[in-house]
Amino acid sequence: MRTSSRAWVAAIAASAALLLAGCVPTTGIERDPTSVDRRIPSTDRFEPGFIVSDDSFYDSAAMTVPEIQAFLESRDCRPVDDVPCLAEYTEDVVTVPAAGPRHCTAVPGGEGMAASRIIGEVADACGVSPRTLLVLLQKEQSLLTRPSARGYERATGYGCPDTADCDARYFGFFNQVYRAAWQFRQYTVEPVRTFQVGTVDVGFHPNAACGAATVRIRNQATANLYNYTPYQPNDAVLADPSAGDDCSAYGNLNFWRIWNRWFGDPHEERLPAYFPPCSRLVGGYPCPAPAPPGSALAPTQSLP
């Protein structure tokens, strides 16, 4: 099963019209009135092999639930149809058991759980930053600024392959947030995949005729993003983020731009670079993790 975002193919003029209408940013560069939060760097600073640091990506304590709630309330939210903004959204959640060794821990359920609590508890259980999940929700469905019923169903793009319809089994806000975080943890626990740390070819678009270019992926967080959305921006969209061309894919560039706008430099690390790598990273397993005496390595996890 592919867990990448939906297909990017659309005419440039249609993309511009959709964006101005506040629709999902899968066919153009992400824009919304909250772009004044921070200055977005020029795209010439985008590094395809280092989109976000492991420390930023995995810091599950980066925001408390009240801080997530305050952040949601600070967004310029204008629903596309008759749905609440994320700051007011609630959902009944069934308890999810732990996924296994080194994987997501249990997520307690509850009635009327606020979106901020769902994001915070899933981030804590799966060892990813709430910022990672907030940026993903915006990158996939503009859910913080232009929420829609369709957007809540497909919140993180999980189970939405590029060449087919989304799988309705995975619909639902909690379902989508948890499964995306679960998938990021799975990529981390079992990193030997199509996209992993090292030198690999990354395509520019779901259409293979658009070609690919070699990328030296420098860290696990960046590998995770490519496994989830397996495309890099091409020269056309880097030269003009408002346009691009028929071979432009915006997802990972949008992730970088949204993070810069909302949270600052995604490359930041809390501890100096001269500290040992294991102390500078959270949850990314950059160093060998010793197994408990007498235990075997964790088996491949399977999410039903």
Q: What pLDDT shows up at residue 144?
A: 98
Is the full-model pTM beyond 0.95?
no
Q: What is the pLDDT of residues 159-210, one digit of tens each?
A: 998 878 999 999 999 999 999 999 999 999 999 999 999 999 999 999 999 9
Distance in angstroms (rounded) separating the CA atoms of residues 90 and 226: 30
Lowest-pLDDT choice from 36-50, 72-86, 100-114, 289-303 = 289-303
Closest CA to 213 of 49, 4, 12, 10: 49
Phi, psi of 249 (to 5 degrees): -115, 130
Q: Is the pLDDT of residue 223 over 90?
A: yes
pLDDT reported for residue 33: 46
Summarize pLDDT for 6-43 with one digit per residue, the tens. 333 333 333 333 333 333 334 454 444 444 477 889 99
Q: Which of 186, 195, 198, 188 is nearest to 303 (CA)?
A: 186
- pLDDT by residue (tens digit) across 92-107? 999 999 998 889 999 9
Q: Which of 171, 190, 189, 191 is nearest to 179 (CA)?
A: 171
Q: Which two tokens stand for residue 179?
A: 């499964």
Q: How far apart are CA 103 and CA 298, in angstroms?
A: 9
DSSP string, 254-269: HHHHHHHHHHS-TT--
